Amino acid sequence: MLGTDLMACCRKKNLNVYGYDLPEFDITDAPSLKKIVSASSCIVNCAAYTNVDRAEQEEPLAAQINGHSVGVLARLAGGADIPVVHISTDFVFDGMQDRPYLETDLPNPINAYGRSKLEGEKQLAAAGCRYCILRVEWTYGRAGVNFVKKILEAAQTRPVLKVVDDQIGSPTAVKEIAAVIGQILERKEFPEGIFHLAAAGYTSRYEMARFIGRIKGIHTPIEPCKTADFPSPAKRPLNSRFNCSKIETLLGKKMKSWQESLTEFLEQL
């Protein structure tokens, strides 16, 4: 999902970029990684195992893709002194914090997907390469599966939509994330460390669904419920709020509000 928008963004900036994806490229294949690293001046890793519920049954596979392979990539990049921009997630946290999460807060994932992504962060840091970790959340875009698409599709087939109102976060367009990565790639000095990146403001999944309904003129009733009402294989953090002051200081500007970005996205569909 992010890779599609990132390639478009970089090409508009006239950056010399190449994109690699399945089935031609597999991040778990070390020889392929070595070949790509040797031909690059910077790596942006958007590859990930992202099926949160299935990861509970396929944790070794998720750990291989999101953890071990990131370590291999990082060691190769470190040996060649090539910086790496790596995409991580709010799922490295347990969601129990009563305020927005800072980059310095201690991770504590509560599901297999979160554990695999945290392992990727750890291996990246341990490899000794120059890295920039961007933790993102509640992403949506034209490509891939996401919450916005699921709501729009469900509204066409269900008489009533029940959406959880106790998960709080920031709906974030991958187009905006891609724009930030583009700015990072254009910088003379590579920004190292961990950065939280999300749209400005916070909302619940329920209020987000209602917002989508208003913009798209959906008449299907949308009712609130609790996460506990719909048990799933993987636990979800209830608080996914990020403090994004660190990335905003780096960029020298505030992030767009989630309402502005989501409205733009919906009006273009």
Q: List residues with catalytic annotation.
A: 113
> Residue 80's beta-bridge partner residues?
none
Q: Which two tokens stand for residue 80?
A: 């060649």
> Residue 85's beta-bridge partner residues?
44, 132
Give the type of residue at 112.
A
Give the type of residue at 37.
V
Give the type of residue at 148.
V
Task: For residue 140, give the nearest of 170, 118, 110, 163 by alpha carbon.
Answer: 170
Q: Are 110 and 95 in contact (CB under 8 A)?
A: yes
Q: What does the DSSP 8-state code read for residue 201?
A: S
Phi-psi region of 81 (alpha: psi -120 to 50; beta: other; left: phi over 0): left
Task: For residue 212, give the nearest of 258, 177, 160 by alpha carbon.
Answer: 258
* Burial letters 60-89, b for 16+ CB under 10 A, else e: ebbbbbbbbbbbbbbbbbbeeebbbbbbbb
- Map tokens 């554990």 to a residue: 115
Cis ω on the peptide bond leading into residue 171 (within 30° of 0)?
no
The DSSP string of 18-31 is: ----TTT--TT-HH
